[in-house]
Amino acid sequence: MAENKNLRVTVPMLRAKKEAGEKIVALTAYDFPVARILDDAGIDLILVGDSLGMVVLGYETTIPVTMDEMIHHTKPVVRAARRALVVGDMPYFSFHLSEEATLANASRFIKEAGARGVKVEGASPRRLRMIESLIEAEIPVMGHVGLTPQSIHHLGRFKVQGVELAEAKKIIRDAENLEKAGVFAVVLECMPQEVARIVTERLAVPTIGIGAGPHCDGQILVFHDMVGCEGGYLPKFVKKYADLEATFHKAVGAYKDDVRSGAFPGEEHSYHLKPEVARALRSGKRGR
């Protein structure tokens, strides 16, 4: 499929990319400047992930992230994205209480923030019913199976999922059920590549992998991880494409030294009065 840089990426286009064997490229973003860079670079899908909580807001897990925080961060991403498909991540407990509450929360991403889809973690029967009602309300949904970080208290720690036969079969079944429910794509997180390959071969909708090997239809990473602004811990599946934390440390250290030594601001960073105004100002009386 020839890439048209001006054409907005849509949900059906992702399916067409899978059919054409063209990889889908996705990243997370939580603000305007990063979303603008990703959009300019031709990233297909920008996820405003609830990883926001850990990456930007300093929470220990994604559990505390609220709907208001997600909407606040989705708005600038939507403003920046002229081409990419922006998907908002439904935070913990925004899709657990009732169909009404789930619809009300998901519709905020679409109506208030301007996202063009939402992502929901998990595939339990109740979750599938919620997903079906979102799709029935014309809200495109992306599924998410394997390691689902909102299940952290259940899992104990972030670890590879689907290693044992029963677990692997469950991931495959969950992904198939999500497709039946009508999702437009499924995120496969942190699982053996053999499992992701089977899912990818069985589904007609695209799979987007994170720590799920090379056979997925697309890949997603957390932006701050792949540019090295992650605070020290990087999962094995992340490739670091830059070391922004080192760059930022260097810049901030140089600024501190310059301010302390008086080297900043220099003449080139300063404004001047016209000489006669400066003279009058200096010789004028105090006060008025």
Site for ligand KIV contains 177 (CB under 6 A): no
Indicate the residue type of 268. E
CA 93-99-100 angle, to 5 degrees, is 95
Residue choice 50, 174, 179, 230 for contact with ligand KIV (CB under 6 A): 50
Residue-by-residue DSSP string for 191-207: --HHHHHHHHHH-SSPE
Residue closer to ligand KIV by CB (options 28, 177) is 28
Tokens of 5: 């840089």
Q: Smallest distance from the beta carbon of 104 to ligand KIV, in angstroms?
A: 21
Q: Is 268 a catalytic residue?
A: no
Interatomic CA distance for residues 149 and 203, integer angstroms: 23
Indicate the residue type of 264. F
Residue closer to ligand KIV by CB (options 28, 94) is 28
Residue closer to ligand KIV by CB (options 34, 47) is 47
Interatomic CA distance for residues 50 and 59, integer angstroms: 11
Q: Smallest distance from the beta carbon of 28 to ligand KIV, in angstroms?
A: 4
Residues 183-222, interacting with ligand KIV (CB under 6 A)? 187, 189, 210, 220, 222
CA 90-156-147 angle, to 5 degrees, is 45
Evaluate the CA torsion angle 21, 26, 32, 33 in order and state its sign.
negative
Taking residues 221 to 250 in sequence order and writing x for each that binds ligand KIV by CB under 6 A, - otherwise, the string is -x----------------------------
Antiparallel, parallel or unpaired: β 45-48 and 24-28 = parallel
Residues 13-42, interacting with ligand KIV (CB under 6 A)? 28
Residue choice 49, 122, 143, 146 for contact with ligand KIV (CB under 6 A): 49
- Binding residues for ligand KIV, how many (CB under 6 A)? 11
Give the other-Cβ count within 10 Å of 188's Cβ. 32
- Find the catalytic residue in 69, 121, 189, 230: 189
Q: Which of the residues are catalytic?
A: 189
Binding site for ligand KIV (CB under 6 A): 28, 47, 49-51, 89, 187, 189, 210, 220, 222
